[in-house]
Amino acid sequence: MLLATANLLPPAVARLFGVVLAPPNAGRPGFALVADANRAFTVTLAAALVVDLLIVVAIAYDWRTRGRPHRAYVIGGGCMLLVHLLRKPVAHTDLWRWITDALLALAR
């Protein structure tokens, strides 16, 4: 349950970063707080890594109370971290565009 919830949190945390890091004269916050794509990836990665710290806390708690972390945290947290770190390098490849086009074709 913690991994499923943590998987949904990065967009919300990124919006909080956008509001906190916005310049004072930015006006009302909107959905497009970051116009530059590279900066958006950076903010999103930072938010995802902050959320990944929740999983590290759960691993540390298990390690302290049970003597070892639960496999779900190690495997699931590792997969989530891998996805977060590979998001930027893979996002603009031809293979990824082919996959997204194939998924969009299923929706038609």
pLDDT tens, position by position, 55-96: 999 999 999 999 999 999 999 999 999 998 898 888 889 999
Tokens of 7: 């998987």
- Band (pLDDT 50/70/90 cuts) for residue 22 is low
Cβ contacts of residue 101 below 8 Å, gap of 6+? none
Write phi, then psi, for 30 (nearest 5 degrees): -120, -170
Is the Cβ–Cβ distance between 45 and 82 less than 8 Å?
no
pLDDT at 105 (0 to 100): 94
Cβ contacts of residue 51 below 8 Å, gap of 6+? 6, 9, 10, 13
Q: What is residue 32's three-state secondary structure?
A: coil
Cβ count near 42 (within 10 Å): 14
Tokens of 46: 């930072």
Residue 35 reports pLDDT greater than 80: no
Q: Render the burial of 49-70: b for 16+ CB within 10 Å, e for the rest.
A: eebbeebeebbeebeeeeeebb
